[in-house]
A and B are shown apart, each in its own frame.
Chain A
């Protein structure tokens, strides 16, 4: 077994021990430790967390904000739900440490609309922390104040994108903003804001307690830390697994008991789809960006069904703001229908749609439209057997 349980270990460090250690450090040293750990955002985009904190800490502007992105909406992802259910004390502690690090006294958890049953869980953790003076006013006798509020989302996938999430928090339509300015300079209500994933915040207490060097050592190769994966599909033991970052996908499949593999979808619908021949590829930002979702398809699955399903999802979830995403996903889905009904029967005829996919990747406003064509490119090129040219020509 290649699992490496840190965040999900049965034995957890004492609640508040990492916060206590942080409060004994300067805020700059806390940011430094996180930066040195080289932890990258666990939501999928992989932006270095320490750099984000450093920018927000240095930004001018008052009432800085710590926002936890718990809008876990990527199909096949459920690792944040698992963390909140079981380790919410660590999540809140991580957010509090972030508040101390960037000079913020207020945090918001933007919780996926479909997770209302987690609200009491978080509320209970918050109350416990307040009782122990680990949250609220004058935390552990210092002059540091920090509190956390839960705000449920409204069910839009795009609100997992940080600027859409911020718009939604402000009570507006959840659509991405133009960048710059970046949230670290002007985020929620124009305040300097950090938005981090549940898993990122949950890792922070461990980094503070054990040090950056320890955290770096957890990863394989250039990767640092461990990573949680939600694995589902045609496997024996679906669930959440914690592995060193950089592990080959084969180890995750082994841990979760998969036998018959036709395709593996890594990083959710917007991630990469690979064949059974590519299982030595690594779960890392350098190879297969690991948002958290891994879906296994066995040989009985029709990959055109899979593709159609993913594209229907994107056609439903595009916010509709920018042209390439709003219109592009519709046309890619149309192409799938044309392949299925035989109107498109060669790669040559698909060429304009590959071109469209490439344009979407570089022209869309946010990560949604930039990554939604991935499934089209991967599945059509790897799993659909079409002749290069139209028959009879």
Chain B
């Protein structure tokens, strides 16, 4: 550990650890330094020149975010020199930025706009040539408009460092430099996973989701359409934040607000999360039986989860030889879509052709997933539209709904019941925990031996988590083959961590039975469709909300979900049965 040293910041001597950056030292001293290219999740770039400070004895200004403090360093953070430089940097950025704030997705939530306001930039003598015009590029989940890009490279670093996808890079040089792809291809034609992590780290509106607000309003306003909304687990811990309120869970208000939009049925993706657990749990047991009892070499282990569409696209591009390890279960969103136009249509007595199925997701890759040609098992497009948490917030704002005052309401029936196990799908480790709660009970006949059902080893923000659970000697009938077996599991979030695990699986170094992967850091609660900004602290708070919601629910195990039980009794008959295979399972393709 480095020793503490004294530095003088704006005349006040502060004690900080040697080697911390000037930016961190200033934070300690309670002095705020404006930043743009800096992001707590990413490596340091030092390219925007916003955080310039004056250091005594230096010919040039210092970049606070990358420069380490040295003993007795004297720092000035708002001298005339610094103020001039910062204002100049802002004016230069604004002069080449497509300032169309009212039309911009990030209006009022833009770091450049905020800094321009704070620094009182009301005129710009460097506007010596016209501003660039919009150049939009569309993919199913992500849109880019490079005319709003300020070249901070946060997206580039996100794509490479957090996701090990690295499909975007600076291309060209000087003022014609742009963030682009290999040969300037569309994001559709490169191995982009559509995870949208770039969007939640963009300081401006250069990256945003491909919006589907308009067709959703049109469906709601069309009296012939029966509009069904499903809401993903992580949306209920992000929506308040997206509406400018403190981070908290807001399930009841969310349901009420969506109903207030004029939606016919407000249902819960948690319901199909529970259903996923039943199907996937049985799939795991069947794979284990195949491998351990029948010695079937064609059974691929470890089995890997399939809920995260960014992860699925990633493995399809990068590890196609491992696709047989991926669970055949559709994601909860797609299971919901397939059931909405079959099971629910029957229950409600509605012609499925008139059902418009909309999902609210913390995710941009879900927009891609719903377009996959195999996602039409109901005979229709299973999910018609996907809105991000942010898009839902915009609709609630537009409808004039006062989210703070609205009274809580409950989900509609048939596909509205949820359990705590479904809720924790929103956090990294949640699918694993939910699966363990159910699978353990099926195979042993007893509840999983963790205090309060909380499987702590798979919780938390560690990039890769491992756990091992040894089965008791006495098993439920039919599962004796698992007696005494130690079940090894692993959980990874963020595709860079997924890559580490996959390399281990590929080299035979890993002997896990079951792996959960979520494309986004923190799991879905940190998804590319969630409120902006994001940071480790913000994701921690959302995680706490998720687990609080789990703890508050009456049912905590997926197999206890009454509506899921009814679904099996009346419609599916049995897990992995004929109907399940038809509607709830899928296959994957190798992508270049």
A180-B68 in contact given A173-B169, A321-B47 (Cβ < 8 Å): yes
Q: Are A320 and B93 interface neighbours, CB within 8 A?
A: no
Q: Report the bound CA distance from A289 to B57 in whole Å.
A: 21
Is A64 at the interface (CB under 8 A from chain B)? no
Contacts of B373 in A (CB 8 A): none
From B46, B84, B93, B128, name the one whose CB has the most chain A CB atoms within 10 angstroms: B128
Q: Are B60 and A327 interface neighbours, CB within 8 A?
A: no
A352-B60 in contact given A320-B172, A323-B49, A359-B84 (Cβ < 8 Å): no
Is A279 at the interface (CB under 8 A from chain B)? no
Q: Are B60 and A178 interface neighbours, CB within 8 A?
A: no
Is A58 at the interface (CB under 8 A from chain B)? no
**B174: contacting residue among A318, A324, A334, A358, CB under 8 A:** A318
Contacts of A320 in B (CB 8 A): 151, 170, 172-177
Q: Are B128 and A324 interface neighbours, CB within 8 A?
A: no
**B151: contacting residue among A315, A326, A331, CB under 8 A:** A326
Chain A, interface size category, equals 35 or more
Q: Are A178 and B92 interface neighbours, CB within 8 A?
A: no
Is A124 at the interface (CB under 8 A from chain B)? no
Is A36 at the interface (CB under 8 A from chain B)? no
Give chain A nearest CB distance to B150 CB in angstroms: 8
Q: Are A322 and B49 interface neighbours, CB within 8 A?
A: yes
Question: Which A residue's beta carbon lies closest to that of B128?
Answer: A334
Spot the interface stretch: A197-205, A265-273, A362-370. A362-370
Contacts of A364 in B (CB 8 A): 49, 60
**A365: contacting residue among B47, B50, B59, B129, CB under 8 A:** B47
Q: Which of B35-77 contact A (CB under 8 A)?
A: 44-50, 52, 59-61, 63, 66-68
Q: Count the B residues whose beta carbon is within 8 Å of the partner chain — how many? A: 38
Contacts of B170 in A (CB 8 A): 173, 175, 320-321
Q: Bits for A37-53, please: 1 = Cβ < 8 Å to B, else 0.
A: 00000000000000000
Is B322 at the interface (CB under 8 A from chain A)? no
Q: Are A362 and B60 interface neighbours, CB within 8 A?
A: yes
Question: Which B residue's beta carbon lies closest to that of A360?
Answer: B88
Is B182 at the interface (CB under 8 A from chain A)? no
Q: Report the bound CA distance from A324 to B51 in whole Å.
A: 13
**B173: contacting residue among A156, A335, A356, A370, CB under 8 A:** A156
Is A28 at the interface (CB under 8 A from chain B)? no
Q: Are B81 and A324 interface neighbours, CB within 8 A?
A: no
Q: Are A323 and B89 interface neighbours, CB within 8 A?
A: yes
Q: Report the bound CA distance from A322 to B36 in whole Å.
A: 12
Is A118 at the interface (CB under 8 A from chain B)? no
Is A338 at the interface (CB under 8 A from chain B)? yes
Q: Report the bound CA distance from A338 to B127 in whole Å.
A: 12
Contacts of B103 in A (CB 8 A): none
From A158, A318, A328, A331, name the one whose CB has the most chain B CB atoms within 10 angstroms: A331
**A319: contacting residue among B85, B128, B150, B174, CB under 8 A:** B174
Q: Which of A165-199 contact B (CB under 8 A)?
A: 173, 175, 178, 180
User: What does DSSP make chain B's interface, helix, strand, loop or mixed?
Assistant: loop
Q: Are A318 and B173 interface neighbours, CB within 8 A?
A: yes
**B89: contacting residue among A180, A352, A355, A363, CB under 8 A:** A363
Q: Bits for A310-354, please: 1 = Cβ < 8 Å to B, else 0.
A: 000001111111111011111100110010000000000000100
Is B96 at the interface (CB under 8 A from chain A)? yes
Give chain B nearest CB distance to A95 CB in angstroms: 30
Q: Report the bound CA distance from A320 to B44 in whole Å.
A: 17
A323-B47 in contact given A180-B68, A355-B84, A359-B84 (Cβ < 8 Å): yes
A335-B128 in contact given A359-B84, A362-B59 (Cβ < 8 Å): yes
Q: Report the bound CA distance from A322 to B89 in whole Å.
A: 10
Q: Report the bound CA distance from A33 to B13 in whole Å.
A: 42
Q: Are A356 and B47 interface neighbours, CB within 8 A?
A: no
Contacts of A361 in B (CB 8 A): 60
**A324: contacting residue among B45, B49, B96, B173, CB under 8 A:** B49
Q: Are A324 and B47 interface neighbours, CB within 8 A?
A: no
Q: Are A322 and B47 interface neighbours, CB within 8 A?
A: yes
Q: Report the bound CA distance from A111 to B32 in whole Å.
A: 45
Q: Report the bound CA distance from A328 to B91 in whole Å.
A: 10
A363-B49 in contact given A178-B66, A319-B173, A323-B93 (Cβ < 8 Å): yes
Is B294 at the interface (CB under 8 A from chain A)? no
Contacts of A329 in B (CB 8 A): 174-175
Q: Report the bound CA distance from A317 to B45 in whole Å.
A: 20
A323-B92 in contact given A362-B61, A362-B81 (Cβ < 8 Å): yes
Q: Are A318 and B44 interface neighbours, CB within 8 A?
A: no
Is B95 at the interface (CB under 8 A from chain A)? yes
Give chain A nearest CB distance to B152 CB in angstroms: 9
Q: Are A326 and B88 interface neighbours, CB within 8 A?
A: no
Give chain A nearest CB distance to B160 CB in angstroms: 12
A370-B95 in contact given A320-B174, A323-B49 (Cβ < 8 Å): no
Contacts of A158 in B (CB 8 A): 173
Give chain A nearest CB distance to B489 CB in angstroms: 36
Is B224 at the interface (CB under 8 A from chain A)? no
Q: Are B174 and A356 interface neighbours, CB within 8 A?
A: no
Contacts of A316 in B (CB 8 A): 173-174
**B93: contacting residue among A317, A318, A327, A363, CB under 8 A:** A327
Contacts of A356 in B (CB 8 A): 88, 92, 126
Is B398 at the interface (CB under 8 A from chain A)? no
Give chain B nearest CB distance to A208 CB in angstroms: 32
Q: Report the bound CA distance from A99 to B184 in whole Å.
A: 43
Q: Report the bound CA distance from A180 to B253 in whole Å.
A: 51
Q: Are B60 and A370 interface neighbours, CB within 8 A?
A: yes
Give chain B nearest CB distance to A181 CB in angstroms: 10
Q: Report the bound CA distance from A320 to B174 in whole Å.
A: 4
Contacts of A317 in B (CB 8 A): 173-174
Contacts of B45 in A (CB 8 A): 178
Q: Are B85 and A331 interface neighbours, CB within 8 A?
A: no
Contacts of B150 in A (CB 8 A): 323
Q: Report the bound CA distance from A15 to B466 in whole Å.
A: 63
A362-B85 in contact given A317-B173, A323-B93, A327-B92 (Cβ < 8 Å): yes
Give chain A nearest CB distance to B157 CB in angstroms: 13
Q: Report the bound CA distance from A279 to B129 in whole Å.
A: 38
Question: Which A residue's beta carbon lies closest to that of B66?
Answer: A178
Is B125 at the interface (CB under 8 A from chain A)? yes
Q: Report the bound CA distance from A356 to B92 in whole Å.
A: 9
Q: Which of B137-159 contact A (CB under 8 A)?
A: 150-151
Question: Which B residue's beta carbon lies closest to that of A316?
Answer: B174
Q: Are A326 and B85 interface neighbours, CB within 8 A?
A: no
Q: Report the bound CA distance from A235 to B369 in whole Å.
A: 70
Q: Are A359 and B85 interface neighbours, CB within 8 A?
A: yes
Q: Bits for B169-197, please: 1 = Cβ < 8 Å to A, else 0.
A: 11011111100000000000000000000
In the complex, the 4 A-B pairs of residues with the closest C-beta atoms, listed nearest first: A320-B177, A334-B128, A327-B92, A318-B174
Q: List 23 A-B contacts (CB under 8 A).
A: A175-B170, A316-B173, A317-B174, A320-B173, A321-B47, A321-B151, A321-B170, A322-B48, A323-B49, A323-B150, A324-B88, A324-B89, A324-B92, A330-B96, A330-B175, A331-B95, A331-B126, A338-B128, A359-B84, A362-B85, A363-B60, A365-B47, A370-B60
- Given A327-B92, A334-B129, A362-B61, 12 more A-B residue pairs with CB atoms under 8 Å apart are A178-B44, A178-B45, A315-B175, A317-B173, A319-B173, A320-B151, A320-B172, A320-B175, A321-B170, A324-B89, A330-B96, A330-B129
